[in-house]
Structure 1
Amino acid sequence: EHGGVDILWRRGFLLVLFMCMEVGAGFEESLAPNMPIHAYFPKSDGPRKRMYPTGKERQYEHKTYSDGYRVQITPSCEAERREMEDIVLDKANNIRKAAEVHRRVRRYAQHELLKPGIKLIDICEKLENATRTYLEADKGKAGVKAGIGFPTGVSLNSCAAHYTSNPGDKTVLKYDDVLKLDFGTHVNGFIVDSAFTWAPNAKYETLLEAVKDATYTGIKEAGIDVRLCDVGEAIQEVMESYECVLDGKTYQVKCVQNLMGHSIEPYRIHAGKSVPIVAGGPSTRMEEGEIYAIETFGTTGSGYVWERGDCSHFALNHPDEILDSGMKVKMPRASKLQNFIEKHFKTLPFCPRYLEWAGQKDYMPALQHLVDTGVVQDYPPLYDTRGSYVAQYEHTIFLRPTCKEIVSQGDDW
């Protein structure tokens, strides 16, 4: 008798437990951040109070190129290089902090934002607010010490780069779109620049695979004393070995020849050295301590991009470049806007949405005057031929004394 009651009670308990689990499944915790990134990492007892995760480390390749130049880390200099690691540790920790934020923000985007039907402007604003939360970049600080590295790129289909939503953008993401999500984070000016392509329709898989393979080939080739032209040649060989079939038509995947990776310096996303993605580039060599964005673009179109459409990306030129322009700002409102940009962004790229977020109004005439006088550089959207599809993958690497570190690599790619 009591055994039967016990069985019924246990069955009832299990039923209630199962129902609770089902209800709870609909209330999964959001990946949107609610506290700064440093709260996730305890302080240490050492001289450096808080350390952030190291990226994927890869050893440098020991190889000889066709011109006879040999790239090799010899045992005699290995001990010295290890001593140099301590010197660059603070620099590395800034980059790693920015990279950890990037990984978490893009995971949030992948799981909760990138779905057909969402507006591009909502992707941008929610993603950027997540970065601001992690790095405490509120309106008072405006992200100069830490925050957004550059406007969130949401370039669709034949648009390869430099498209972010301007205020009022009503563009909606669709199932058949090929979206390049390219965004940056920074800590003390040390920028992490990483991008991936979202394309839920399986017909684009080969295109995405080609570009991802080409990017990792570039990362594998990169290293201290490596020539930039050799990196580009290796990338092109891999990228253009792929063919993809779209709607019954076969396309050779082409490199977008006038888009490149680039060196990065504090507060300068494009710091002077370009990493080509085709053969025939410069013989300039990579150097120890440099940071690079290794990015590749593959296309079903012409393999060349042109400026088209309304501009959304701007950046204050370096003071030396402003002096070289020889032009002076004559509009008082433009002078005020220049001071505002210097205070809130330095030479980090920005967009009209950021100006509005920080409280600016009726700024376009002044901004255009700054562009016309060479104080600010504009970066319009870049498109391949109409009807083509462009994919992009990108990681930031740090050429440390003993190895190269893919600081932005995560579990996603």
Structure 2
Amino acid sequence: MSAELTQKTHELKLADSQPVENEEVDSASENEAGEATGDKKKKKKKNSKKKKKKGPPSTGISHQFQKGVYPEGEICEYAVTESLNRMTSEEKRALEIDHQQQYNDLRKAAEVHRQVRTYARNNIKPGMLMTDIAEMIENSTQSLAEGDTWKSAGTGFPTGLSLNDCAAHWTPNKGDKTILQESDVLKVDFGVHVNGNIIDSAWTMTFQDQYDPLVAAVSAATNEGVKQAGIDVRLGDIGAAIQEVMESYEVEINGKTYPVKAIKNLCGHNIAPYTIHSGKSVPIVASPDQTKMEEGEVFAIETFGSTGRGYVVGQGEVSHYARSGTAGHQTLRLASAKQLLNVIDNTFGTLPFCRRYLDKIGQDKYLLALNNLVKAGVVTDYPPLMDAPNSYTAQLEHTIILRPTCKEVLSRGNDY
């Protein structure tokens, strides 16, 4: 017998001081005076103030939360059974004591994500280079997360900026000149990690009202997935609930009506330290999968809706890569491949990376070596995932943790 799921949203309180605003001081424009015609009467001087544009967030999170304790996400009670109420169980509360550092690292990463995405959502506009958008997000993430090395804290994976029929796994490579258009549907998917504890969260940006129902579909579907998730819940059941909500929507684009389809070969996933996809998949369509979610697991609940076929294929120039955590020892004959693998292991470990990241750390003429590593199976490439040409896709994603006492939606914010 299950009780109705209830949710309690905690206010995000500061532990010691208010976050530092990255805002310039207002400047007053020069006063202007004019003369009236005929009687030569002077008009009153007018004072006008012009606000300088706020810069990207750059004040490290530890300076904003000087006690080193970061805000909880949204707290949701599990369904109450006759035998156990986890929120009040002393046994379950005791189990959480040993995981406080993990929780705090995840909350720190989530707070970085919220602050960076707030700036991004307010400042991404048509006419911008996609490279500039990616670097704005990544540079802000690195500044706020304050990692001494790539592995200690910072970007959890390359910033996905997939457009229109591309659902995922696209970020600009060096020299890319793609410009964001007003008619585009943009998925912004970026990760933040602290000590390998990764927050994976994404949203969809549009600049025309006609796409609103498509965005509403993935928002409602993801929230349904978050609601259904819990300890001992079957993954296939979550997929069925997500699909039912997603496919209750339709959208009219340029005078034509499309049913919104859940993209059946994309899914959510569980997350382990330094491993963005750690084995379990959360389907977004009905599935016979009887695998259960378990206590202590971290999941990215993400949904994708499409006006196309609802099925993606990998195609186009690759930007995303990751070290294979399961690859055994491989003999590499190419000296440049050995050197590059050493750089990847020392810099990123198993965190995903992109070609721009290799450029940033000073690697040059590495493509032959990188392809050699992919061919050897020690690095995996992730090509852009494309739905039908001229279709539109949308995404929304949250990271949750199934604590012994409750479900915490770590990446929840005031925006989504």
TM-score, normalised to structure 2's length?
Answer: 0.87
Find the partner of 1:294 among 295, 301, 320: 301
**Amino acid paired to 2:240:** E
| Alignment correspondent of 1:7 | none
SS in structure 1 at match of 2:226: helix
- The farther-off stretch of 148-157 and 281-290 is 281-290
Q: Which residue of the partner structure matches residue 3 of structure 2?
A: none
Aligned-partner SS, 2:193: strand
Say which SS state the counterpart of residue 78 (structure 2) adopts.
coil
Whether 2:415 is the aligned partner of 1:408: answer no
1:242 aligns with 2:288: no
RMSD (CA atoms)? 1.7
Q: Secondary structure at the match of 1:322?
A: coil
> How far 1:328 moved relative to its partner?
2.1
TM-superposed CA distance for 1:72, in Å, is 7.2
**Other-structure match for 1:362:** 365
SS of the residue aligned with 1:225? Answer: coil
Partner of 1:216: 223
Match of 1:117 among 127, 133, 156: 127
Asked if 1:348 is matched to 2:351, the reply is yes
110, 113, 127: which is aligned to 1:99?
110
Structure with bigger helix share is 1
Partners of 1:232 and 1:281 within 8 A in 2? no
Maintained 8 Å contact 1:61/1:72 = no
Partner of 1:81 in structure 2?
92
Q: Figure out how many residues of one structure are paired with residues of the other and give that number.
A: 373
AA aligned opposite 1:322: A
Partner of 1:337: 340
Identity of counterpart residues, as a percentage?
A: 51
- Give the deviation of 1:29 after TM superposition: 3.2
Does structure 1 residue 378 correspond to structure 2 residue 403? Answer: no
User: Per-residue CA shift, 1:194-236, capped at 9, x if unaligned?
Assistant: 0000011000000100110000000000001111011101000
Secondary structure at the aligned position of 1:95 is classed as helix
Q: Distance in 2 between matches of 1:205 and 1:355?
A: 37
1:45-95 Cα deviation digits (max 9, x unpaired): xxxxx10010011111348xxxxxxx9744798221111122221110000
1:323-381 deviation per Cα after TM superposition (whole angstroms, max 9, x unaligned): 1xx74211111111111101110100000100010111111111111000001000000
Cα distance between partner residues in 2 of 1:76 and 1:223: 13
Scaled by the length of structure 1, the TM-score of the pair is 0.87
SS at match of 1:412: coil
After TM superposition, the structure 1 = structure 2 runs for residues 199-278 of structure 1, keeping only pairs within 5 Å, are: 199-278=206-285
CA distance in 2, matches of 1:288, 1:239: 27
Matched residues in 2 for 1:151 and 1:82: separation?
Answer: 36
AA of the residue aligned to 1:396: T
* Counterparts of 1:257 and 1:92, CA distance in 2: 32
For the residues of structure 2 that align with 1:76 and 1:412, how far apart are their CA atoms? 27
Contact 1:225-1:285 at 8 Å conserved across structures? yes
* 1:198 correspondence with 2:205: yes
Aligned pair 1:29/2:54, yes or no? yes
Query: 2: CA distance between counterparts of 1:72 and 1:301?
Result: 46
- Correspondence for 1:322 among 320, 327, 330: 327
Give SS of 1:258's match: coil
Partner residue, 2:176: 169
Are positions 1:41 and 2:52 aligned together? no
Cα distance change on mapping 1:76 and 1:294 into 2, 3 Å:
closer
